Amino acid sequence: MAIAGAKGGCSASRGFIPMVFGKAVAGITPTAASSSFIEEMANFGGPTLLKRTLGLQDDRFSQYIGPTTDFEPSLINLSTFDPHDESLLSRGTLRKVSEQDTFLLLPDQNTPGYEHIVEDIDEIESIVAPHGRKLIDLYFRIIHPAFPIIQKSVYYEKYERSPREFSPPLLAAMYILAINWWDQDDELSPLPRPNVRQLERLVRTTLADAMYRPKLSTVQAGLLLSQRPEGDQWAPTAQLIAIAQELGLHLDCSNWKIPLWEKGLRKRLAWGLYMQDKWGALVHGRPSHIFAAQWAVQPLCSNDFPDVEWDEEDADEKQDIEKGRTLFAQMIQLSLILSEILETFYTLQAMQNVTNAGAQGTHLVLSLAKPIQLKLKDWYAALPASIRMDSTYQTPVANNIPNRLSSIGYLHLAYFATEITLHRRIVRSLAQTHPPPASADGVPPPTASSASSAGDSYVLHICRNAAKARLISAMDFVNRLTPSHLRAFWYFASKTNFALIGTFGSLLWATSPGREEAEWYRRRLGEYRWTLSVSSKPGEGKGLTEFAMGMLDISTGLLKQLPEKPSMGRSDSLAGLANITGARRSSLLALGGESYSVVVGGAVGDPVMELDTSGGSGEVSGMQSPRSADGSEGSGDSEDAMYGGGFSASAAGMAHF
């Protein structure tokens, strides 16, 4: 998706704003921005705190007036607007926020459930009493840094006055999420937890009522509820997107006449919804609801986080907040790449195009995959140091600091899921154009030279090796997650992203050309399941990986129905490798003899996709396969030597960790 340059103090670079928090950006430091924000709030005073906002007024909600409604834009401009840019009509109040954009403001009191708001808030508070404030503190300590869709200073200011100022579903959603980390608070951990089921019942009814008077808090509540492991459902995402469009979240608010902090909040909410849509489309296998042609939201920048949210004397808290903002920004950028993958390979039309290409299907897929693979590589290479994971998979903030959690795991897992989503399409195309040999009764399997041309065999070999490298890197990443990662906040798609690693391994198993390679994947998937089981033990991931274990059991159960694959004897393998080596030599000679890149194409001299075999980011000098279930190291097995099982970063290429 191409995104235009940002406005309002943000300058775009390569379509995205790199955020360096804690430093001056566009002449405004976070402290200065916060001072301006506090002064603005002070000028509002008391109950009029949110009167100048568009999407968070206490007694009115807004509806965006689109270009094809019964309101004619040229007639709207004939209305007389007061100094607050409002014009009273019989249907409601027009609010003009820019020359192009106008909203209709309507009273809350005419909507279903309005008379129960105070009653609902009081019931929610009674369920968590006397621990409400502790739970809010937990929310802002653990969840908010990695998922900053709430305006913290506004929230606390309202909470100190009265919880009755809040939207009931938002308050309940924050409590429900925070309770998951009940044991992280020394005072709360020995006490009985509030009744979560009662909170969930209330949040369902109050959110349904809130949709009749949608505000930014309605979208906030919906996004937070979707982060629960059991709260991810596709239909509510569609509802949230519809509400967001009512609120104009899909528009560019840079020049709107609304408070500066609301502009930043709107952009963060919009991108949070964008991520929800794209990752929901991935994990549910559904068409996305957000299209580039209807998306004008500008990239995030530091000015979109106007208030300082940490104690100036607490260096660790400051580091957590700044790292969380960077994490959120990078997840948005990764989601843009994921969106491109989904649009390029997984729409109905895109899949039909590959089918129609017939024997050239792999050629087509590789030609489309190359630029996206380069974007992924560049994205990873540009990751700020604060959210990288070093060779021991330990984050600096987590080392030797008890109860200091790190959410960066969800970003790196999402990266592997994105890589896997790209390579799944490549492997599927290979399976269509290079089907594995069928089981034969006493008939030896065909060699690489007899099954297809040497060039096609080389394409098959290098693409499957690249896919195998991704799988090993992903499994190694999961194997090295620490309790400080597993106990932290994980994005809603993470449970499925863990499962996608196993699904990808199952695909490679199913499409293996021979028995030995299939056995290699069988053992590696067994190791992966053991890793998932260790990660899901009580006190670690709170069941984070249980879903992945269940899906892996289903996949491996189905794989048992496969007919036995033929044995690829050593002589056959050596003959195949000789043909592959010859094809590679011919390709390299045609391309000038580069020694560290392999160009795969439909024909020699017709490059389609360059698969990097130079060692990726170079952060790991020698990555080993996980230990096999039989106690042997992967790199020491004979079949590993034959099929490249002992991948190092230099051999695997795309393994960036």
pLDDT digits (tens, 9 = 90+) for 605-647: 333 344 543 333 333 323 333 443 333 333 334 333 333 343 3
Q: What is the number of structural domains in the chain?
A: 2
What is the Cα–Cα distance from 207 to 14, expressed in whole angstroms?
Answer: 38
Q: Tell me, yes or no, if the pTM score tops 0.75.
A: yes
Q: How many CA atoms lie within 13 A of 213 on its CB side?
A: 24
What is the rounded (10 degree) CA torsion for 87, 88, 90, 96?
30
Residue 462, in any domain of the structure: yes
* Strand-strand pairing, 86-89 and 92-96: antiparallel
Which among 320, 333, 315 is positioned nearest to 408, based on CA atoms? Answer: 320
- 457 domain-assigned: yes
300 within 8 A of 271, measured Cβ to Cβ? yes
Q: Which residues of the chain have pLDDT under 50?
A: 1-9, 11-48, 391-400, 440-452, 571, 574-575, 580, 583, 585-610, 612-657
Within a domain: residue 337? no
Report the alpha-carbon angle 4-7-13, nearest 5: 50
146 domain-assigned: no
Residue 2 resides in a domain: no
Provide the pLDDT for residue 573: 52
Q: What's the confidence (pLDDT) of residue 160?
A: 86
**Host domain of residue 105:** 60-110
Give the helix/strand (H/E) hosting 451. Answer: helix 448-451
- The answer to whether position 190 is within a domain reads no
18 lies in some domain: no
SS3 106: strand
On whether residue 468 sits in a domain, the answer given is yes
